[in-house]
Amino acid sequence: MSQICEWLHERIRVLPLFSYPFDLTQLPKNGIYFFYEKGEHRGHAGQHQRIVRIGTHKDGNFRSRIAEHFLLNEKRMNFGSNQAAPHERSIFRKNIGRALLNRDADDYLKVWELDFTSHSVRQTLSCQRDIDKEKQVEAEVTRILRENFSFRYIQIESQEQRMGRGGLESKLIGTVAGCKVCQASESWLGYYSPIAKIRNSGLWLVQHLAAPSITDSDTIVIDSAIAKQTR
């Protein structure tokens, strides 16, 4: 698994690296993204950053997913007790917030875990929310993402090819999660996550960690996508 993980890291390294601030219109409508994090290096030769998250989206939503992670629409911070906070639209943001609250032994983690996109939850449990507290955590999550994270992508148009059990996303995650060489640094924020799968994998992910790795036919698809983006 480590050889194919090394191949993946090296192969996508030829692609442009995006860091905040960036032009959202430069991004495709469909693709698979690979996030990197400052201080996190792959275990293969060299001191290049390791992939810490892989993700995709439903058809046409690539830009909106990236925008939600980095909170490019800052008006979303104007939420109240009967509205979903930004982390409800991005599991990546939610997981970083979980780690921050757990690190600080903050009891507000219990509220952060609730799903306020649900109308019934908002009706019955919104009284537990401290909006000022949530905005403080959201601001810190945004700062961390914008300062510490960058990403690359491969443009894959077919949703069927990207998503699901047989999709590239799951196999790419399985490839990186199964590598015994790529390990989180001792100071990685994810070690504070209350979710064991995040702590143990060294990735900001929960799903597809045990998926099979990419195959030879998958590498051909990846090579083809990269060739189109770099020619």
- 153 pLDDT higher than 90: yes
CA 95 to chain centre: 9
- 164 pLDDT higher than 90: no
Whose tokens are 């990546």? That residue is 92
- 155 pLDDT higher than 90: yes
pLDDT reported for residue 171: 97
pLDDT reported for residue 44: 87
Which whole number is the average pLDDT over 81-98? 96
Taking the C-alpha atoms of residue 202 and residue 179, their distance in angstroms, rounded to an integer, is 11
- 46 pLDDT higher than 80: no
pLDDT band, very low/low/confident/very high, at 211 (cuts 50, 70, 90): very high
Nearest CA to 144 among 79, 8, 52, 63? 52
Q: What is the pLDDT of residues 186-199, one digit of tens each?
A: 999 999 999 999 99
Which whole number is the average pLDDT over 59-79? 96
Q: What is the pLDDT of residues 111-139, one digit of tens each?
A: 999 999 988 898 899 999 999 999 999 99
Q: What residues does each domain of the chain span?
A: 1-231
DSSP labels for 133-155? Answer: HHHHHHHHHHHHHHHHEEEEEE-
Rounded to the nearest integer, the mean pLDDT of the chain is 95
Query: Percent of the chain at pLDDT above 90?
Result: 89
pLDDT reported for residue 165: 75
